Structures are given as C-alpha cells and as structure tokens.
C-alpha cells in the first residue's frame, strides 16, 4: 500500500475498520467481516455522512497501523474499531469511535446479546455511531432505524454471511463456494431476498464471461425471486445491471439499472464502477473518468477502481496516465492480474522493450509473456531486440486458457491476417466475451478500422439507438430544508438559554443531544439542525462552550484555590481530560495552566 495515497478529510466522515474475530473458532472470520459490512452499509444511508467503502476499509485488515495514518490515507476524521466474539447462541461486540487527528476516543461500548438479536444490535451500534459523529462534527438527519431484519431465520442469515464472505474473494473458487452457500440459504428460508441477489450476480458473471445462456437464465430467475421479496435492494439492482450489461451487452437497460442501484445507495462504488465500465465500452471516456474520480473519494484504496481508470486512459491512448493508475493499483494489490496485463500492453505501445522484458521476467503473474514479446516485435518492428517470432503461428493455433485480453486476436491483426482477425472478433462479439466489449476503442485493433466489416460490427453493437441518452439527468441540490418555524426557533432558543444559564444543564457530564432535545421538546434531528444552522455550532461545541465559560469563572474564584484545574473541569461537566484540554486550547490558543497564569499575573 502506497503511503502517497492521501486524501483531504471530510468533517462528517468515518471508516469502519474490519472487526477483529475474537472467537475461539477462526472460521468465524466470516461473521466478524459480515457484521462490519452491515454497519458500513447502515451508515451509508445517513445523508451527508461520508462512509469509506468496504474495500478500502478492509485494506487495513490484520494490520497494526496508527489511526492518524489511516485518516490521512482514507480522508476521514473518525474510525470505528471493534471486535466480535461468537460462541454458540451468544455474541459479544465491542466498538470504539476514534478521532484520526489525535487518537481521542469519542465513544466506546460493549454489547452482550443473544444471536437472535443481531439485527437490533447492528441497528443500535450504527445509530450510536451516527449520533456521536453528529454531536462532534455537525448536523446529520438520522432515521429512526438504519437496519431492519432481512430474515427471521438466523441460520439462513449465518449461511448468507458465509456465502458473502466467499463471494468477496472475487475468484472462481470463491464464487463456486458462494453459490453453494447461497443455495443452502434459500432452501432454509425462501423468503430471504439477499441470497437470491447473490446467486443472480454470481451466475450473471459466470454466464457473461463464458456466454453460457443457461447460467444467464438462472441469474434472471433468481433476480425475479429476489425482487418479489425486496424491490428496493441496491445489490439486487447491481446484479440486474451486471446481467444486462455484461451478459447481454444491453447498454440502455444496464445504464438505467446501474443508475437505480446508485440512486438507492450512492456509496455503493461497485455499481458506479459498473457504470464507468459501461461508459468506457461505448467510448464516453470523459464521463467514465468523472465517475472513477467520484468513487475513489469514498473508496480510495480500491485496486480495481484504479484499474478501471487505467483502462479508460489506455483505450483513450493516453498510455502514460494509464501507467500511473496501474502503478497505484499494483501498490495496493501487487498480485492483481488485471493491471499487470494492462501494463504489458502500455509498455508495448510506448515501445519500451527493456522495461517490458524486465517486467515480464520479474512478474510471475504476467499474462501470456511469450505472446507479449512477439506482439511487441510486431507492433514495433524497428526496435532492435532479439525476439524470436518464428513460433507465432503456433501461438495463435494453440488452445489456451482464459485471459483478460485477446492475445490471439492482437497477433492476428499485427501479422496482417486481417480476415482471420475479423472472423475471431466477430465470433467473440457474438459470444459476448469479456473485454471484447471494448473492441471499438482497443488501440491494437486500429488496423482493422478501415474494413467495412469492422465498421459493420461497430454499428451492430454501438449504433445510436442501442446506446443510452448522451447526457445524464442533471441533479440539482435541493435547498436546505427548514425544520422549524421562526416562532418555534425563538421558543426553543429561550428554553435553551434558561436551561443552560439558570439550570446549568451542561454540568451533567453524560448530557447527550437526545437528552437535551427532550428537555426542549424536540427530536434530535431538529435540535441538531437548530444548533448548526442558527447557532453555528455542533452539539459538543455548544455544550462545551458553557462548560468552558463556567470553568473560567470557577478557576478565577479564590474560594476554589484548593481544587485542581482538572477537578474544576469535571465539576463543570467535562468528563475527559483529553477533551477538556483539547477544547480549551482550541478556544483560547493556550493550555488551561498558562491561561490562568496570564489572568492571575
């Protein structure tokens, strides 16, 4: 992971780090990972809160890294750490919210529950976290609940988490294992929607890359079953868009459904990446790059997102920028084969055989290294090297396994066997084979462009009526919603003034936004809005300003000379030495002790 990957932090932002599996059974890793993902997903429903995507949060799994470094790399002000211990029908979860600037612990708590209460517990934790961020960083409108139970069958949910754990391995065996577990899940609880969508995505991807109509039909059937149970699942719409786009090359339906998934969860970067890939295929590179930059704001350590961006630059023939993104991708995941193969192509285009040869020799995961060397010679015939191209015909005829890029096609093109190349291309277009979807803009296929047959293939796939509208709907920011009338605001401000100045509500060290809201007959969302919009402070700034003012009065009172400054701070409602000192220094520009010295001379 590159230490150069740093992003500006957002005030209302969080990264939920992978909860540590504290169970005696190491196989319970799936459960702790699942709990983490559920809390991430819940927090993404809070509008205005930047929540780092799962991929980037999980980049820190099993790594002992200072929270300040994590904050810099992810661009967040807070991180949530935690652990999960699962034993029989009981679960213990510990969680703590930490400031990434100075390591301050804003909140921590332990939870012991029956496993049957897992959804209520996830909801409770998510709400507590969202409220703590609101109290410390500013207004957020928080729903009454962030998580609802997707099933009443805990055994089915447990199987789903195991399936999801395998699914997120993103490899062939992982998907096979996931399908098996998802199928067990729906057998136990046919009313549970999520495993149907997991099955739909798995079969859609399998069917897409192998043109297996049977698998694509299975994906369609599972989508129908899932949507009968849950019509608002963003994962469901992502799976459906994947089927339309990769399975059928239906750009209009894929575009529409990807956008629906993003509308339901703007933080689900996998769906927006799918939209990037769609725009890339149809040659809308500027729009595709806008979306890659957008998803990298909340998923900055995704090797896949950087590969997607690199591929856009490659297809746009900007090989230097493509290599920059490739290097970033490989710095995050050195074993990610997609950017490795793309780097090989970029070095061919840049006519740099020395770098290419060294890379192929040093990279065990390089794709088709011999074909790559021969292709280099064919593309760059004037480059002085000793590449033997005598076996090139054998390379083309050999039955070889799946690869990301169509090396046989590239060799045919640059051997000037253009009829054979067009036959190969047409066959793979009919089969809807993987990265062939980008054929219109693959630079190595440019020698085929003058042929009418190539232009006919382009028209058969990309003619205007098969493409989505040229512009996306423009979303205009809605004006800030006014939650209270002027009369209500005046009444609440009067109650707050009396409560704080006369009744000293601030002296309660456990005073929360929710409790203060009850005192003035409001809900938390309305009071949070009022404090931010009319007073210009978040909850903690507002309450601590009264505590600080009262502390100063107490500290200058000779009758309190026998008390320590920290003791006076506690008397006035501060409940943490760190919070007190940090807030005092921020307000006064000096420590409490130095401030007192200046006042007493």
Q: What is the pLDDT of residues 112-154, one digit of tens each?
A: 999 999 999 999 999 999 999 999 999 999 999 999 999 999 9
Given a cut of 70, whether residue 460 has pLDDT beyond it is yes
Given a cut of 50, whether residue 377 has pLDDT beyond it is yes
Do 401 and 425 belong together in one domain? yes
44-58, 206-220, 513-527: which has the minimum mean pLDDT?
A: 206-220
Do 228 and 270 belong together in one domain? yes
Residue range 414-427: mean pLDDT, rounded: 96
High-pLDDT (> 70) share of the chain, % = 95
Which of 414, 439, 470 marks a domain boundary? 470
Would residue 143 count as lying in a domain? no
Would residue 108 count as lying in a domain? yes
24 or 147: whose pLDDT is higher?
147
Do 50 and 184 belong together in one domain? no
The pLDDT value given to residue 209: 72
Q: What's the CATH code of the domain at 247?
A: 1.25.40.10
SS3 308: helix
Residue range 1-14: mean pLDDT, rounded: 61
Q: How many CA atoms lie within 13 A of 516 on its CB side?
A: 32
The pLDDT value given to residue 384: 82
Would residue 380 count as lying in a domain? yes
Given a cut of 80, whether residue 583 has pLDDT beyond it is yes
Which of 295, 330, 361 marks a domain boundary? 295
Q: What's the CATH code of the domain at 582?
A: 1.10.10.60
Please check whether residue 409 is in contact with residue 427, taking contact to mean a CB–CB distance below 8 angstroms: no
Given a cut of 70, whether residue 401 has pLDDT beyond it is no
Do 162 and 130 belong together in one domain? no
Which domain covers residue 518, as residue numbers?
486-600
Q: What's the CATH code of the domain at 92?
A: 3.40.50.10610
Which of 83, 107, 137 marks a domain boundary? 137
Residue range 45-59: mean pLDDT, rounded: 94
Count of the separate structural domains present in the chain: 4
Q: What is the pLDDT of residues 475-501, one digit of tens each?
A: 555 666 888 999 999 999 999 999 999
Residue range 435-444: mean pLDDT, rounded: 95
Measured CA to CA, the distance from residue 552 to residue 569 in angstroms comes to: 9
Do 107 and 163 belong together in one domain? no
Would residue 308 count as lying in a domain? no
Element (H, E) at 16: strand 10-16
Do 115 and 196 belong together in one domain? no
Distance (Å) of CA 282 to CA 249, 338, 353, 499: 11, 20, 31, 62
Residue range 224-252: mean pLDDT, rounded: 96
Q: Which two tokens stand for residue 86?
A: 């699962």
Q: What is the pLDDT of residues 88-113, one digit of tens each?
A: 889 999 999 999 988 888 889 999 99
DSSP 130-146: HHHHHHHH------S-S
Do 190 and 118 belong together in one domain? no
Element (H, E) at 536: none
Q: Which residues make Cβ contacts (< 8 Å) with residue 226, sequence separation at least 6?
A: 193, 194, 196, 197, 200, 233, 236, 239
Please check whether residue 3 is in contact with residue 74, taking contact to mean a CB–CB distance below 8 angstroms: no
Do 82 and 23 belong together in one domain? yes
DSSP 430-492: HHT-GGGGGGGG-GGGGGGTTSHHHHHHHHHHH-GGGS--SSPPPPPPPPPPP-S-HHHHHHH
Would residue 147 count as lying in a domain? no
Instruction: Single out the residue of 331, 361, 335 nearest to residue 347, CA to CA.
Output: 361
Pairing of strands 90-99, 76-87: antiparallel
95 or 385: whose pLDDT is higher?
95
The pLDDT value given to residue 474: 52
Measured CA to CA, the distance from residue 112 to residue 123 in angstroms comes to: 14
Do 118 and 171 belong together in one domain? no
Would residue 313 count as lying in a domain? no
Do 250 and 116 belong together in one domain? no
Given a cut of 50, whether residue 4 has pLDDT beyond it is no
Q: How much is the mean pLDDT over the chain?
A: 92
Angle, to 10 degrees, between the axis of helix 193-210 and the axis of helix 154-167?
Answer: 30
SS3 310: helix
The pLDDT value given to residue 1: 43
Q: Which residues make Cβ contacts (< 8 Å) with residue 385, sequence separation at least 6?
A: 353, 357, 376, 377
Do 173 and 285 belong together in one domain? yes
Residue with structure tokens 């090139």?
Answer: 392
Do 163 and 268 belong together in one domain? yes
Would residue 305 count as lying in a domain? no
The pLDDT value given to residue 10: 60
Would residue 332 count as lying in a domain? no
Residue range 336-347: mean pLDDT, rounded: 97
C-alpha gyration radius of the chain: 29
Please check whether residue 86 is in contact with residue 28, taking contact to mean a CB–CB distance below 8 angstroms: yes
SS3 94: strand
The pLDDT value given to residue 40: 95
Among left, alpha and beta (phi > 0; psi -120 to 50; other), residue 103 is left
Residue with structure tokens 């504290």?
Answer: 22
302 or 474: whose pLDDT is higher?
302
Q: Which residues make Cβ contacts (< 8 Å) with residue 179, sequence separation at least 6?
A: 163, 199, 202, 203
Pairing of strands 10-16, 76-87: parallel
């Amino acid at each position: 992971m590159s230490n150069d990957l740093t992003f500006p932090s957002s005030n209302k932002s969080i990264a939920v780090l992978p909860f540590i599996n504290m169970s005696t059974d190491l196989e319970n890793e799936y459960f702790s990972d699942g709990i983490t993902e559920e809390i991430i997903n819940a927090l993404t429903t809070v509008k205005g809160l930047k929540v780092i995507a799962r991929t980037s949060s999980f980049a820190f799994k099993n790594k002992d890294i200072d929270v300040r470094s994590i904050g810099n790399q992810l661009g967040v002000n807070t991180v949530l750490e935690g652990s999960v211990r699962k034993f029989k029908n009981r679960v213990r979860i510990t969680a703590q919210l930490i400031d990434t600037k100075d390591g301050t612990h804003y909140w921590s708590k332990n939870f012991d529950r029956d496993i049957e209460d897992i959804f209520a517990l996830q909801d409770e934790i998510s709400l507590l976290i969202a409220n703590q961020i609101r109290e410390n960083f500013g207004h957020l409108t928080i729903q009454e609940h962030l998580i609802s139970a997707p099933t009443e069958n805990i055994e089915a949910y447990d199987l789903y988490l195991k399936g999801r754990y395998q699914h997120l391995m993103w490899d062939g065996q992982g998907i096979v294992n996931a399908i098996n577990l998802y199928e067990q899940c729906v057998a136990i609880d046919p009313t549970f929607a999520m495993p149907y969508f997991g099955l739909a995505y798995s079969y859609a991807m399998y069917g897409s890359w192998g043109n297996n109509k049977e698998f694509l039909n299975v994906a369609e059937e599972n989508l129908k079953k899932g949507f009968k149970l849950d019509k608002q699942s963003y994962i469901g719409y992502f799976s459906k868009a994947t089927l339309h786009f990769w399975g059928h090359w239906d750009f209009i339906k894929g575009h529409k459904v990807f956008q629906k998934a993003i509308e339901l969860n703007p933080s689900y970067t996998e769906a927006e990446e799918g939209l990037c890939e769609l725009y890339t295929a149809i040659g809308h590179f500027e729009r595709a790059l806008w979306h890659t930059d957008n998803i990298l704001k909340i998923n900055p350590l995704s090797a896949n997102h950087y590969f997607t961006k690199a591929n856009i630059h490659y297809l746009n023939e900007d090989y230097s920028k493509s290599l920059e993104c490739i290097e970033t991708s490989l710095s995050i995941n050195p074993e990610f084969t997609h950017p490795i193969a793309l780097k090989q192509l970029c070095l061919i285009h840049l006519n740099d055989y020395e770098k290419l040869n060294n890379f192929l020799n040093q990279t065990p995961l390089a794709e088709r290294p011999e074909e790559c060397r021969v292709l280099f010679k064919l593309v760059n015939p004037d480059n002085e090297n000793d590449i033997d191209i005598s076996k090139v015909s054998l390379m083309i005829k050999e039955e070889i396994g799946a690869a990301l890029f169509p090396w046989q096609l590239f060799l045919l093109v640059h051997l000037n066997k253009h009829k054979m190349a067009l036959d190969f291309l047409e066959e793979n277009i009919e089969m809807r084979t993987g990265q062939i979807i980008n054929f219109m803009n693959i630079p190595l296929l440019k020698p085929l462009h003058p042929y009418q047959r190539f232009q006919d293939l382009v028209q058969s796939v990309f003619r205007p009526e098969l493409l989505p509208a040229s512009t996306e709907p423009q979303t205009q920011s809605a004006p800030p919603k006014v939650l209270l009338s002027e009369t209500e605001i005046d009444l609440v401000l009067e109650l707050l003034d009396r409560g704080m100045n006369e009744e000293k509500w601030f002296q309660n060290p456990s005073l929360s936004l929710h409790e203060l809201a009850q005192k003035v007959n409001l809900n938390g969302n309305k009071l949070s809005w009022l404090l931010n919009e009319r007073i210009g402070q978040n909850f903690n700034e507002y309450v601590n300003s009264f505590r600080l003012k009262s502390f100063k009065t107490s500290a200058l009172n000779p009758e309190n000379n026998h008390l320590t400054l920290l003791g006076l701070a506690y008397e006035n409602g501060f409940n943490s030495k760190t919070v007190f000192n940090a807030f005092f220094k921020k307000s006064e520009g000096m420590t409490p002790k130095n401030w007192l010295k200046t006042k007493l001379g």
